[in-house]
């Protein structure tokens, strides 16, 4: 029989527990600290360049690159701050979409492709699989 193996997304949802919430908030706080450190380094480099008297095409290009880097870090910081606010308000025993992973699925001639590729979810509680939905 003819078959093919495809990848389909599988959503992993965590049941919010005190442990999950604490770990998630801590991860976001650490990520935010790292981004703020990087942002500080970029801003220091920008200030150094501003003190240089020579303005060449090269220094202008470096300055533009640093400005783009600063904007990227500022956007990431804003996103992390928003996720941190949301994380702190998560209600216990609700489901939180934690991540998406790819899973393989075999498709044979005669299969309903939409059913094979349909939404599949794994529900975990403190890392333990509690339920598999769909697929």
Count of domains observed in the chain: 2
For residue range 50-93, list pLDDT tens digits in order. 887 777 888 888 889 999 999 999 999 999 999 999 999 999 99
> Distances in Å between the alpha carbon of 22 and those of 26, 54, 57, 95, 129?
6, 50, 49, 15, 19
| pLDDT at 135 (0 to 100) | 64
134 and 99 share a domain?
Answer: yes
| pLDDT at 1 (0 to 100) | 63
33 and 86 share a domain?
Answer: yes
Domain that holds residue 122: 1-17+92-135
Kindly state whether residue 22 falls inside one of the protein's structural domains: no
| pLDDT at 69 (0 to 100) | 95
- Compute φ and ψ for 43, nearest 5 degrees: -65, -35
Q: Is the separation of the CB atoms in 80 and 32 below 8 Å? A: yes
Kindly state whether residue 11 falls inside one of the protein's structural domains: yes
pLDDT at 47 over 90: no
For residue range 92-119, list pLDDT tens digits in order. 999 999 999 999 999 999 999 888 888 8
């Amino acid at each position: 029989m003819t078959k093919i193996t495809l990848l389909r997304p599988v959503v992993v949802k965590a049941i919010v527990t005190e442990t999950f919430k604490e770990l998630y908030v801590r991860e976001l706080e650490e990520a935010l600290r790292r981004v703020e450190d990087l942002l500080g380094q970029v801003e220091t480099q920008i200030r150094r360049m501003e003190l240089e008297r020579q303005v060449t095409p090269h220094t202008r290009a470096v300055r533009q690159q640093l400005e783009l880097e600063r904007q990227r870090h500022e956007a990431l910081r804003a996103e992390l701050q928003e996720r941190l606010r949301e994380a702190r308000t998560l209600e216990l025993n609700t489901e939180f979409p934690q991540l998406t992973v790819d899973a393989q699925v075999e498709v044979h001639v005669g299969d309903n492709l939409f059913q094979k590729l349909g939404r599949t979810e794994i529900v975990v509680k403190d890392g333990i699989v509690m339920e598999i939905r769909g697929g």
